[in-house]
């Protein structure tokens, strides 16, 4: 029997973290952080077998791109006065 495990971590700027860098690391990919004007390239990282963005049926197709999804989330959170990703 498989045992499910979920680990959730809040990523906040106040602690010096970057949601874009964290997403690039976890997906072993290269993502651009426009806020920091910096690329985060972890495409040579080993150990990531599969990475994908899962969306609900009614979500816009462009949200399947990690960079677009992160930018949209950041914009909403900043408008609310809470620039933290979770």
The rounded distance, in Å, linking the Cα atoms of 74 and 80 is 10
What pLDDT does residue 5 have?
86
Give the strand pairing for 30-33 and 38-41. antiparallel
The residues, ordered by sequence, that sit 6+ positions from 10 with a Cβ below 8 Å of its Cβ are 84, 85, 86
Strand-pairing partners, residue 31, are: 40
> Nearest 5°: CA angle at 14, between 86 and 30?
60
Q: Is a pLDDT exceeding 60 seen at residue 20? A: yes
What pLDDT does residue 74 have?
67
66-79 and 19-27 helices, crossing angle to 10°? 150
* pLDDT tens readout for residues 28-49: 999 888 878 899 999 999 998 8
pTM to 2 decimals? 0.66
* pLDDT tens readout for residues 40-78: 999 999 998 888 878 888 888 888 877 777 777 766 555
């Amino acid at each position: 029997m498989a045992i499910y495990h979920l680990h959730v971590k809040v990523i906040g700027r106040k602690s010096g973290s970057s949601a874009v860098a964290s997403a690039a690391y976890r997906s072993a990919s290269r993502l651009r952080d426009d806020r920091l004007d910096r690329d985060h390239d972890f495409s040579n990282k080993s150990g990531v077998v599969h990475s994908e963005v899962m969306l609900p049926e009614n979500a816009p197709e462009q949200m399947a791109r990690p960079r677009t999804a992160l930018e949209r989330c950041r914009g909403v959170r900043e408008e609310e006065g809470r620039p933290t990703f979770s």
